[in-house]
Amino acid sequence: MMMRSKKNLNDGAKLGAGDIILFSVLILSVVVVLFVISMVNYSETYDSTVEYASTSISNRTEQSAKEIEAEFEKKFELLEYLATVPEISNMTWKEQYAYIKANQGNMGFEQLFIMDMNGNGYYVRDNVIKDQKNEPFFASISEVDRFITEPFMDFGASKSITTLCTSIYKDNTKSGILCAAMDLQGIYDLVEAMSTNNEEVVIVNSAGEYVASSDMTLVHRKVNISSYYSNEENHDVSFIKDNLKNTVNVTGEVTIDGKEYFTCITNIKDTDWKIILTVPKEDAVGEFEGMYITQLASVLILIIIILVTIRFILKLNAKEKVAFIDGTTGINNRARCTIMMDKYETNIHESIMVVNFDLNDFKQINDKYGHKVGDDALKQFARILVKSFGKEGFVGRMGGDEFICILVNKTQEEYEELLKEMQNQLNALNANKDQKYLLSPAYGNAIRSVDNPEGKTVRDLYDEADKNMYFYKETYKSIRNQANK
């Protein structure tokens, strides 16, 4: 048996006046609360500002580090390729010398040299072999597959140089190291492009010595960033000094020339270098203020949109109420019932049940107590119908004392359970000593199965249910007449 979720089909497109008021108050309350919170929090935004600025600076610093790493990565990829060329990987100096000598002009390096695992350095440019086994440089490159040296000044060429080293493997055994001197001008250009009038990007090593800066004299003189800012009382770079050995991205605050800055320190891969970004606090707060103004404007716009929407809903609901709500009982009227019958006409994959109701002796209630009491009787029955059948399907008033219910995918047993629930509510009402009359409905139903072999329409179901209801009504009258004799 196909099942259907319990959706209240009596709501249609309408909202009750109470629903609209509740909805309006709820939405306006939410908006007002948001507005008040925004105003109150403006005076308490310091922590939020720091968090926002820290995240922004952290992301930018990481991006800057990636750009620098990408420059090194391009060089390493070339160097690692060269290390696999047989003329290099065979570790025969004559072959290596001849190959590098013939191709080094196209490689983009200042010079190349090769270290064997005994600490001998083979320098192509000068065609010399140096014993470097006792140098820290050899110890460092022997332990890793990639290595970048500290920068040094080539005064003859007026260039700042670093050396990139990658391992040479032969038969899966490390047999040497291919080294290349790289001009750092490209890295310096990147750092300079990252710096602005108010912000500064520098690179330092783990000892704090400048590796790259907009002022390259700091690099050439191997100035330490801590000592550079330690001579004046209006400097405080202790955060940088304390985190030079840190291996994770960290964000904090420093003071330079009496001005406060947000600062982020990030590692550069394959080196012990750190990229440091400093941003004036006032600039970061300015960004936050811009965001706050945007947020405030958004809240105000949201209030306007909601007010306009509520006004539109009120107008729409008023029109809906006039068109589809029964003026006496407040439930769906005949027009809505007709629309719903047309709607369910297309539900060929679901069983449909139509139930018709008619109040017994309604004319006598009207004649004896007047139309006002008669209207009250209609209202009472409509409420009971909504509380019982309305929970499972669509209910409406067709006119006079006739009502209809449309149920989807309900069995005869489920229908009878709903009848019991309706009758229990009627019994409770009729047992009231103040009740002037007894409410007693006649009813009848008709079902169209899923396969619908008879080809029934919903209108056919309505007519069939109507006949069954009047048969019940006549039976009820006959039994009552027999009882009164």
pLDDT at 263 over 60: yes
Three-class secondary structure of residue 413 per DSSP: helix
Q: Which of the listed ranges 124-138, 140-154, 225-239 does the model predict with the highest average pLDDT?
A: 124-138
Answer whether 224's CB lies under 8 Å from 209's CB. Answer: yes
Rounded to a whole number of angstroms, the CA Rg of the chain reads: 44
Three-class secondary structure of residue 443 per DSSP: strand
**Token digits for 141?**
């490159």
**Token digits for 50?**
């720091």
| 276 Cβ neighbours under 8 A, 6+ residues apart | 61, 201, 202, 203, 204, 225, 240, 263, 264, 265
Amino acid in position 68: I
How does 89-109 read in b/e, with b if 16+ C-beta sit within 10 Å? Answer: beeeeeebbebbeeebeeeeb
Q: Where do the structural domains in the chain lie, given as residue ranges?
A: 17-44+287-320, 83-185, 334-484
pLDDT at 132 over 90: yes
Q: pLDDT tens across 11-62, in order?
A: 544 455 566 667 667 777 776 776 676 666 665 666 676 677 788 888 988 9
The CA distance from 157 to 451, in Å, is: 93
**pLDDT computed for residue 4 by the predictor:** 42
Q: Which CATH architecture has domain 83-185?
A: 2-Layer Sandwich (3.30)
Fold matches, 83-185 and 334-484: no
Q: Tokens 């270290």 map to which residue?
A: 115
**pLDDT computed for residue 7 by the predictor:** 46
Q: CB-hemisphere CA count at 13 Å for 462?
A: 18
pLDDT at 411 over 50: yes
Return the higher-pLDDT residue of 6 and 45.
Answer: 45
Mean pLDDT, residues 82-95 taken together: 94
CATH 3.20.20.70 fits 334-484, yes or no: no
